[in-house]
Chains A and B, each alone.
Chain A
Amino acid sequence: MKKLLAATAVIAGLAGLAVLGRRVGRLRLSRGRAAVQLVIRGGLRYAGSAPRLFAAAGEHRQQLRNDLALQTAEDVATTLGAMKGVLMKIGQMASYVDDGLSPAVRRTLSRLQDSVPPMSPELAAAVIQEELGLPPEEAFARWDPEPIAAASIGQVHRAITHDGRAVAVKVQYPGIAETIAADLGNVALLRRMLRITAPAQDVDGLIAELSDRVLEELDYRREAENQRLIAAYYDGHPTIIVPKIIDELSTRRLVTSELADGARFAELANWSQAERDLAAETIYRFTFRSLYDVHAFNGDPHPGNYLFHGGGRVTFLDFGLVKHFSMEELRPLVDMVRYLCVEQNPEGFRAGMVDAGFLRPDAPVSTETVVEHMAVFYDTVRRPGPLTITGDYASAVVRRFFDVRSPLAQWVSVPRSYVILQRINLGLFAILGELTATADWRGIAEEIWPFIQGPPATPMGEAEAAWRAGRSSAAEPVGLGHAA
């Protein structure tokens, strides 16, 4: 599933990153200097030349079954109609809740991913023609008719725009949006399928939330909007790179963004632990800065959606599954972390859980038990100082989440709004665990927590603080800091 779901798993980087990569040791030793360098590097963002990126994207081309390419809209309907596209999307979302799925269901969902071949060059060109009014060879200065990567309901092509930018063009399968939207209407069938996958959940709420997210993902304009917002927020960030959207080449079924290239997650296995730690720190900062500052969470924290450039620089791809939170939705989460980790107020923590709808108000369970059960989710930020996130920790979190034998199991549930946040536990920590990443997570969290906004805890934190200080106040989103 992962190979094919790596959506826009292509994309790019900067000239000169290798140099930065070699400076990791110094970055650790000499904080101030490294921070300055990081800020300078931020300005080099567009140094990569279009032809080089275009070529690199071709070299990283995914192996797709072109011999079985979908040639017509009917082929698309046969392959992804009759619930299969919906199952595939659910499979994508469920890829982090493996423990909640039976082996048979997991295998089915994974095989479904494998069963979807790419569109033929002609079919993809027909979609471009319909969306832009021009054949791809005219809409772009250069167009590669063979896709470089599969996406769950589309595929990615590399191209160069008339004004010379190397871009990734995600093209949606024709007819798929209508099919999936119709199939999502069969709530009874979805309920049957999901009941088995979600032990401690309000299944109808889960279905409603998944349906909303899938429906949003069908309209690429929404994805472009999310990526535009997040790219604008992180513009100039020392380590977080979000490719910019090319507005005039993005439509309901096309999303065109800057092409990026970099190391894939699997390659990090050969990187030094120091590099892996920096990459992990950036992913961590991205997740929680986005949540607390942009009030948005990318629900697809998938290894295929990251490209690594060394020195902690990471490109973030694919914003099809972004959940936006209201202040009201975020506040209980902020309260919970504050009461548990900062103010040492277990009753306040419990009240926050009830307030958010995680815990039933009448649950006949002692607050001690509640804290004991929930604390594992906060283990990384309960105490200051360096801490290593291991694969064992990540699995323990997942096991605890799905532990139906826990004394809390019958009194807790995940309200609809927060369904997607499970991926912080099940996706983010799985990735950090795989990197066996060490950092002062508490120190980093304090930088980000709106009720603390602490001083930089790491060299990257210093670079980030410098970047934040340099941002115009107009770009600053409404924070929760003083409101909470």
Chain B
Amino acid sequence: MTADPFAAAAGLVSRSAAAYASSIPEHPADEGFFGPGSVAWRVSADLSSPVAGLRALHMQALHPLAMAGVDQHSHWRQDPVGRLAATNAYLATVTFGDRGSAERVAARVRRVHEHVRGVDTVTGRAYAAGDPALLLWVHATFVESGIVAAGLVGTPLTAQDADRFVAEMVTEAELVGVPRDLVPASTSDLDAYIASVRPELLCTPAARESMDYLLNPPGLGEDLAEIWQDVRDATVAALPGWAHEMYGYAPPSPPLTDERRAEIRQALGVLDAVFLGEPGVLEARQRIALRARAARPA
């Protein structure tokens, strides 16, 4: 099949922001599956989260069946910005929404996944998006990317908090349909799991095209495009060496200096300020902050 060209990335920030703002509830029925004291809330709000997201997509795309599912069924190429915004909305709801809302959006995702089946043209293997093995790969790489990105360009997690984060996130995997006992619940289990999947990974043309697009999104706007260069550098630096090899990226040599990391953090701060400038984002952040305040020990 011929690959469609990707649509421009105009509106990346504004549509993601709108999706985020509308997913943070005004009056949640409860504190959701994680709650104000969770590491999940902290990681989600960390400055490094755009890098975490892009790194996760890179890792996820290396699973040929996961990539095929996205490429063949979603509107990924026609509306990549919309697809990313929808993911943002989903994650925000699961993290900050009440339990009822989280279960509702997760149920919707599971229903959509039922229809996502096909055959990957590269490996010839059949796939189904509801396959717990694929869902677990997507889940595990997302969790790992949050830890790695925070360590590289955000507020690093202690080993203890990283373990807690992995354990907290088991629920997130369960929500999309992975049996609880299959999900890594500590960083060492997580690392072992990711290593175990590596033989299945492959950089397909769809993966390469998709990630090329994400690292250099056309139509981003001049000023944002320059900031994106720092996001891109951080994303590439956050990937493991074997992923560099698979994508054919030159590994950053030498690894990011402290000075470079500080520069990237500054660029992420500007990006965050731009995000904050979008309608509703500040109010959404304040809703979260107030809930976190209420939960702090007096």
Segment with Cβ contacts to B, from A81-89, A254-262, A312-320: A81-89
Contact between chains at B277 and A82 (CB < 8 Å): no
Segment with Cβ contacts to A, from B104-112, B139-147, B239-247, B268-276: B268-276
The smallest beta-carbon distance between A45 and chain B, in angstroms, is: 42
Contact between chains at B263 and A186 (CB < 8 Å): yes
Bound state CA distance, A192 and B267, in angstroms? Answer: 10
Contact between chains at A68 and B293 (CB < 8 Å): yes
Segment with Cβ contacts to A, from B31-39, B170-178, B282-290: B282-290
Tell me whether A189 is interfacial, beta carbon within 8 Å: yes
Chain B residues touching A, range = 20 to 34
Tell me whether B266 is interfacial, beta carbon within 8 Å: yes
Bound state CA distance, A252 and B268, in angstroms? Answer: 30
Bound state CA distance, A183 and B264, in angstroms? Answer: 11
Measured CB to CB, the nearest residue on chain A to B229 is A192
**Residue numbers in B under 8 Å from A82 (CB-CB):** 47, 265-266, 268-270, 272
Contact between chains at A111 and B282 (CB < 8 Å): yes
Bound state CA distance, A233 and B270, in angstroms? Answer: 41
Contact between chains at A84 and B273 (CB < 8 Å): yes
Tell me whether A409 is interfacial, beta carbon within 8 Å: no
Tell me whether A115 is interfacial, beta carbon within 8 Å: yes
Bound state CA distance, A81 and B47, in angstroms? Answer: 10
Bound state CA distance, A83 and B264, in angstroms? Answer: 11
A: number of interface residues (CB 8 Å)? 26
Tell me whether B226 is interfacial, beta carbon within 8 Å: yes
Please provide the chain A residues from 84 to 114 with a CB less than 8 Å away from any CB of chain B in the complex. Answer: 84, 87, 104-105, 107-112, 114
Contact between chains at B276 and A115 (CB < 8 Å): yes
**Residue numbers in B under 8 Å from A87 (CB-CB):** 269-270, 273
Q: Does more than half of chain A's interface fall in helix, strand or loop, or is it mixed?
A: helix
Contact between chains at B273 and A68 (CB < 8 Å): no
**Residue numbers in A under 8 Å from B223 (CB-CB):** 105, 192-193, 196
Tell me whether A67 is interfacial, beta carbon within 8 Å: yes
Contact between chains at A189 and B263 (CB < 8 Å): yes
Contacting residue for A111 out of B222, B265, B277, CB 8 A: B277
Tell me whether A52 is interfacial, beta carbon within 8 Å: no
Contact between chains at A107 and B277 (CB < 8 Å): yes
The smallest beta-carbon distance between B164 and chain A, in angstroms, is: 19
Contacting residue for B270 out of A104, A114, A115, A193, CB 8 A: A193
Using known A-B contacts A68-B293, A104-B277, A111-B276, determine if residue A186 contacts B286 with beta carbons closer than 8 Å: no
The smallest beta-carbon distance between A366 and chain B, in angstroms, is: 35
Contact between chains at A189 and B270 (CB < 8 Å): yes
Of the candidates B227, B267, B273, B277, the one having the most CB atoms from chain A within 10 angstroms of its own CB is B273
Bound state CA distance, A110 and B277, in angstroms? Answer: 8
Using known A-B contacts A111-B277, A112-B277, A114-B282, determine if residue A192 contacts B266 with beta carbons closer than 8 Å: no
Measured CB to CB, the nearest residue on chain B to A68 is B289
Using known A-B contacts A68-B290, A111-B282, A182-B262, determine if residue A189 contacts B277 with beta carbons closer than 8 Å: no
Contact between chains at B276 and A112 (CB < 8 Å): yes
Tell me whether A162 is interfacial, beta carbon within 8 Å: no
**Residue numbers in B under 8 Å from A114 (CB-CB):** 282
Measured CB to CB, the nearest residue on chain B to A110 is B277
Using known A-B contacts A189-B266, A196-B223, determine if residue A84 contacts B293 with beta carbons closer than 8 Å: no
The smallest beta-carbon distance between B116 and chain A, in angstroms, is: 36
Bound state CA distance, A456 and B262, in angstroms? Answer: 57
Nearest 7 CB-CB pairings of A with B: A82-B269, A108-B277, A83-B269, A83-B266, A111-B277, A192-B226, A107-B277
- Chain A: residues with CB nearer than 8 A to chain B? 65, 67-68, 81-84, 87, 104-105, 107-112, 114-115, 182-183, 186, 188-189, 192-193, 196
List 9 extra interface pairs beyond A84-B272, A189-B263, CB under 8 A. A65-B286, A68-B293, A82-B272, A108-B274, A109-B277, A111-B277, A111-B282, A189-B270, A193-B270
Q: Can you give 29 contacting A-B residue pairs, CB < 8 Å?
A: A65-B286, A67-B290, A68-B289, A68-B290, A68-B293, A81-B269, A82-B47, A82-B272, A83-B267, A83-B270, A84-B269, A87-B269, A108-B273, A108-B274, A111-B276, A111-B277, A111-B281, A111-B282, A112-B273, A112-B277, A114-B282, A115-B285, A182-B262, A186-B263, A189-B227, A189-B263, A189-B267, A189-B270, A196-B222
